[in-house]
């Protein structure tokens, strides 16, 4: 899927001189970016419009979307977290200087087992989205369906699953999964992915300019508020065990 926007210049910006359309590869995330009107593409569109640039959004599976940026087929991929192990990992791409917001990543584990010792996490079977495997410095098992992954934890087929709170919590609530324990794994910065050598270029600067303009006009909080949140401490095994 794709959509192309030619912005109305409501913001004065040095980037309105862009001649080319910025091509953006957006990862498909259930209920978050499974259509071009979903929350993540909508927020990104607002930022790019505020930068005063022409742009085109296209949706792809997560891993393919990152590949699009690595190969230069698109100007950047969105979104990705900044790895807490960045100094230990050699990535095949560069992250933007621009930070869009911070996002809680949660370790989801079996409630019928003792909590996982994070210091010994390599001893456990940990799942994560296939596109995120390279961001961790311990062994993980790739999954490509978020609903299936969290069901695996609930049914005891794996020890843990690490992913974004606002992507997995709605699935848990909808399915009323009662064998899930939640532990904050980290608050991570959300970035864009550029081809090696393209960090801090004009597109990266335009993204920051768009965010700055939205903040200046008091619009950023309304756009990023649903993402830029602190960790919510609640436990499915308490809430849904009581209902069953």
Percent of the chain exceeding pLDDT 90 equals 71
Q: 241, 242, 237, 240: which is closest to 183 by C-alpha?
A: 237
Instruction: Specify the pLDDT at position 78.
Output: 97
Instruction: Specify the pLDDT at position 12.
Output: 44
pLDDT digits over 109-150, tens only?
999 999 999 999 999 999 999 888 888 989 999 999 999 999
Given pLDDT bands bounded at 50, 70 and 90, which one contains residue 6?
very low
- Give strand ranges (E) for 96-175: 101-110, 126-129, 141-143, 160-164
Domains annotated for the chain, with CATH where assigned, are: 2-101+190-224 (3.40.190.10), 103-186+230-243 (3.40.190.10)
Given pLDDT bands bounded at 50, 70 and 90, which one contains residue 13?
very low
Higher pLDDT, 3 or 75: 75
pLDDT digits over 92-102, tens only?
899 999 999 99
Higher pLDDT, 205 or 14: 205
Instruction: Specify the pLDDT at position 90.
Output: 77
Containing 23, the helix (H) or strand (E) segment is strand 22-27
C-alpha distances (whole Å) from 198 to each of 45, 54, 70, 76, 142 are 21, 19, 10, 9, 28
Q: Does residue 17 carry a pLDDT above 60?
A: no
Cα torsion 116, 121, 127, 129: sign: positive
pLDDT digits over 53-74, tens only?
999 999 999 999 999 999 999 9
Instruction: Specify the pLDDT at position 11.
Output: 45
């Amino acid at each position: 899927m794709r959509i192309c926007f030619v912005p109305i210049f409501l913001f004065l910006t040095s980037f309105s001189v862009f001649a080319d359309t910025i091509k953006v590869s957006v990862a498909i995330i259930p209920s978050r970016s499974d259509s071009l009107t979903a929350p993540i593409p909508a927020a990104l569109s607002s930022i790019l419009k505020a930068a005063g640039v022409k742009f085109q959004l296209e949706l792809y599976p997560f891993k393919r979307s990152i590949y699009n940026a690595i190969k230069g087929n698109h100007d950047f991929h969105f979104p990705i977290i900044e790895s807490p192990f960045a100094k230990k990992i050699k990535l095949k791409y560069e992250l933007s200087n621009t930070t869009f917001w911070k996002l809680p990543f949660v370790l989801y584990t079996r409630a019928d087992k003792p909590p996982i010792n994070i210091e010994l996490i390599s001893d456990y079977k940990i799942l994560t989205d296939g596109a995120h495997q390279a961001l961790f410095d311990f062994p993980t098992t790739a999954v490509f369906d978020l609903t299936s992954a969290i069901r695996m934890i609930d049914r005891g087929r794996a020890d843990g699953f690490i992913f974004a709170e606002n992507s997995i919590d709605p699935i848990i609530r909808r399915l009323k999964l009662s064998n899930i324990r939640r532990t904050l794994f980290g608050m991570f910065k959300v970035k864009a992915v550029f081809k090696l050598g393209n960090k801090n270029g004009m597109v990266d600067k335009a993204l920051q300019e768009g965010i700055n303009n939205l903040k200046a006009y008091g619009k950023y909080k309304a756009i990023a508020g649903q993402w830029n949140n602190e960790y919510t401490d609640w436990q499915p095994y308490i809430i849904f065990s009581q209902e069953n």
